[in-house]
Amino acid sequence: MEIIRELKPKEPKPFELFLLADPDLDVIHSYLDHSKCMVLEQNNEIIGTYLLLPTRPHTVELVNIAIKESKQGKGYGKKLVKHAVDKARELGYKIIEVGTGNSSIQQIGLYQKCGFEITGIDKGFFTRHYKDPIYENGIRCKDMVRMKQELYHCFSDSKEANL
C-alpha cells in the first residue's frame, strides 16, 4: 500500500533520500526547516520525498525530490512531482518553481512532462554554492535550469492560505 503524506514534526527526516537530490548537507539544512516535507510511504517504508519551500508571495519551490534508488524508474517520481503541483495549488500558491542542474537530463525531461516550462538559466549556480564539483551523466553540473508552472485555481473565491 502506498500513501503520500506530510512528515510529522517528530519523525526522523529522510536524509538518505535528500542526499540523492542534493549532495551538500549544509545546503539541505539551509532550506529544510522552512520547507514542508512530504513523504511517499510504501508498506510502512519511506521510499520517496519532496520538499515545498515558500520563496516569494504566492510562490513555492519544489526544492528536493528523491526516490530510493531501488524504486527509481517505476513511475514514483512522476507521481510525486504531480502530487507536489497539486499540493501547491491546494495550499493556495499561484506559481510553483523548480531548479535542476544542466547535467540532470532525466529531471529536465520529467519536470517538463509534468507541466513545468524553462524560464532561465542561473549561470554558475552549482559552482558558486557547492564545495565539491558535481558530475552526472558524464557532464559537469555548473548551471541551474530554472523552471516554473502557473497554478490555475478552479474557483475564484478559493482560500488563500498562509501566503
Hey, is 28 helix, strand or coil? helix
**Number of neighbouring beta carbons within 10 Å of residue 104:** 20
Task: Indicate the residue whose CB is closest to ligand COA.
Answer: 77
Query: In the complex with ligand COA, which residue's Cβ is closer, 34 or 74?
Result: 74
Query: In the complex with ligand COA, which residue's Cβ is closer, 20 or 91?
Result: 20
Place of cell 554554492: 129
Query: In the complex with ligand COA, which residue's Cβ is closer, 32 or 110?
Result: 110
Q: Output b/e per residue, 130-157; b: 16+ Cβ within 10 A.
A: beeebeeeeeebbbbbbbbbebeeeeee
Instruction: Give the footprint of ligand COA on this chain (CB under 6 A).
Output: 20-21, 65-67, 72-78, 100, 104, 106-107, 109-110, 113
* Shortest distance in whole angstroms from residue 81 CB to ligand COA: 8
